[in-house]
A and B are shown apart, each in its own frame.
Chain A
Amino acid sequence: MNRLIKADLKRIVVKPTVYIVGLIMVILVLTRTASDTSSDQVNFYKAFFNNVGLIFISIPIFLSVYSDEIKSGIMVSIIGMGMDRKKVVLSKLEDALVLYGVTYLLLYITALIKNAMSGLPVTPRQNAFLFLFCVFCVIRGIGIMALASLVLFLTFSASGGMLILIVAGAAGAGLLSYIQDNTSIPLYDISYIGLLDKAFADFQNGSFGVTLLPALAYLAAIIALNIITFDRKEMDL
Chain B
Amino acid sequence: MSEAVIKLENVYKAYGKHEVLKGVNMQVNRGDIYGLVGRNGAGKTTIFKMILGLSEVNSGSVSIEGSTGKKELEKNRGKIGFLVGCRFYNYLSAEKNLMYFATVKGIPRKERKQEIARVLETVGLGDVKKPVKSFSLGMQQRLGIANAILGNPDILILDEPTNGLDPQGIADIRNLVKRLRDEYNMTVIVSSHILGELEHTADRFGIVNEGVVVKEITQQDLQENQPAVEIAVSDLEKARRVLEENGIKIMREVNEKSSLEDFYFRLVGGSKE
Residues of chain A whose beta carbon lies under 8 Å from any beta carbon of chain B: 3-4, 6-7, 10-11, 14-15, 68, 72-74, 76-84, 232, 234-237
| Contact of B105 with A by CB under 8 A | yes
Are A235 and B55 also in contact (CB < 8 A) when A7-B104, A72-B88, A84-B74 are?
Answer: yes
- What is the bound-complex CA distance between A72 and B88, given in angstroms? 6
Q: Write the nearest CB–CB distance from A229 to chain B, whole angstroms.
A: 14
The interface bits of chain B over 66-102 (1 if a CB of A lies within 8 angstroms of the residue's CB, else 0) are 0000000111111010101101111110001001110
- What is the bound-complex CA distance between A91 and B166, given in angstroms? 40
| Contact of B106 with A by CB under 8 A | yes
Q: Write the nearest CB–CB distance from B109 to chain A, whole angstroms.
A: 10
Are A72 and B89 also in contact (CB < 8 A) when A6-B103, A237-B159 are?
Answer: yes
Q: Which of A6, A68, A232, A237 contacts B84 (CB 8 A)?
A: A237
Residues of chain B whose beta carbon lies under 8 Å from any beta carbon of chain A: 15, 45, 48-49, 52-56, 73-78, 80, 82, 84-85, 87-92, 96, 99-101, 103-106, 159
> Could you show 29 A-B contacts with beta carbons less than 8 Å apart?
A3-B103, A7-B101, A7-B103, A7-B104, A10-B99, A10-B103, A11-B96, A11-B100, A15-B91, A68-B91, A72-B87, A72-B88, A72-B89, A73-B85, A74-B87, A74-B89, A77-B84, A79-B53, A80-B52, A80-B82, A81-B105, A82-B73, A82-B78, A84-B74, A232-B56, A234-B55, A235-B49, A237-B84, A237-B85
- What is the bound-complex CA distance between A176 and B92, given in angstroms? 41
Q: Write the nearest CB–CB distance from A72 to chain B, whole angstroms.
A: 5
Q: Inside 8 A of A78's CB, which chain B residues have their CB?
A: 104
Q: Inside 8 A of A237's CB, which chain B residues have their CB?
A: 45, 48-49, 54, 84-85, 159
Nearest CB in chain A to that of B106: its residue: A3
Are A81 and B78 also in contact (CB < 8 A) when A72-B87, A74-B89 are?
Answer: yes
Q: Inside 8 A of A10's CB, which chain B residues have their CB?
A: 99-100, 103
- What is the bound-complex CA distance between A11 and B88, given in angstroms? 12
Q: Inside 8 A of B49's CB, which chain A residues have their CB?
A: 235, 237
- What is the bound-complex CA distance between A216 and B100, given in angstroms? 32
Q: Inside 8 A of A72's CB, which chain B residues have their CB?
A: 87-90
Check A80–B53 contact: CB distance below 8 A. Answer: yes
Check B92–A82 contact: CB distance below 8 A. Answer: no
- What is the bound-complex CA distance between A12 and B90, given in angstroms? 13
Q: Which of B87, B88, B92 contacts A14 (CB 8 A)?
A: B92
Q: Inside 8 A of B159's CB, which chain A residues have their CB?
A: 237
Q: Inside 8 A of A76's CB, which chain B residues have their CB?
A: 54, 84, 87
Check B45–A11 contact: CB distance below 8 A. Answer: no
Check B85–A79 contact: CB distance below 8 A. Answer: no
Q: Which of B53, B73, B80, B88 contacts A74 (CB 8 A)?
A: B88
- What is the bound-complex CA distance between A7 and B91, given in angstroms? 15
- What is the bound-complex CA distance between A58 and B90, given in angstroms? 22
